[in-house]
Homo-oligomer: A and B are copies of this chain.
């Protein structure tokens, strides 16, 4: 079933047929709030991960001592993992319906990449949108593969180089 989409996206949705190139896969670990910061500290201690950037949740509830982690990027060897507190806020790319891990794929052509994935059998979830605040912070599309895994397809974020307060 897959051969016809190997070299291009679906033709009937206005997307470009250019080859889609991904830089890397970033696993996204979503943990029960407010344990996100603990999880970051754990991955540093346990696996020697280095925090390269963090974006905190813009809203802090009165009972929260620390802001929730919208996304923290950790370098682990040549890989990057992202850690987030689980939140049902609309600004989060990962909603409360998802527990577990999400894979982030960066590419310059989000539309073509989503179209190619959908042509191959993935289900697109929601519209392609601007990802406010999260590391996956440019244009973001989301697809669920036939095996229940969530893949965020996004442009590389300018914010990834910043370490937020």
Residues of A bordering B, CB below 8 Å: 1-3, 5-6, 19-25, 27, 29, 31-32, 35, 38-39, 41-48, 76-79, 81, 100-101, 103, 105, 113, 116-117, 119-122, 143, 145-147, 149, 151
- Asked if residues A78 and B23 are in contact (CB atoms below 8 Å), the reply is yes
CB distance from A135 to the nearest CB of B (A): 16
The number of times this chain is found in the oligomer is: 2
The residues of B that contact A6 with a CB separation of less than 8 Å are: 44-45, 48
Interface of A is mostly: mixed
Q: When the two chains form the complex, which single residue of B25, B44, B78, B147 contacts A2, counting CB atoms closer than 8 Å?
A: B44
- Asked if residues A27 and B103 are in contact (CB atoms below 8 Å), the reply is yes
- Asked if residues A145 and B45 are in contact (CB atoms below 8 Å), the reply is no
Q: How far is the CA of A43 from the CA of B21 in the complex (A)?
A: 13
The residues of B that contact A46 with a CB separation of less than 8 Å are: 5, 116-117, 119-122, 143, 145
A sample of 12 cross-chain residue pairs with beta-carbon separation below 8 angstroms, ordered by A number, consists of: A1-B45, A6-B48, A22-B47, A23-B77, A32-B147, A39-B145, A42-B121, A46-B119, A46-B121, A47-B117, A77-B105, A100-B100
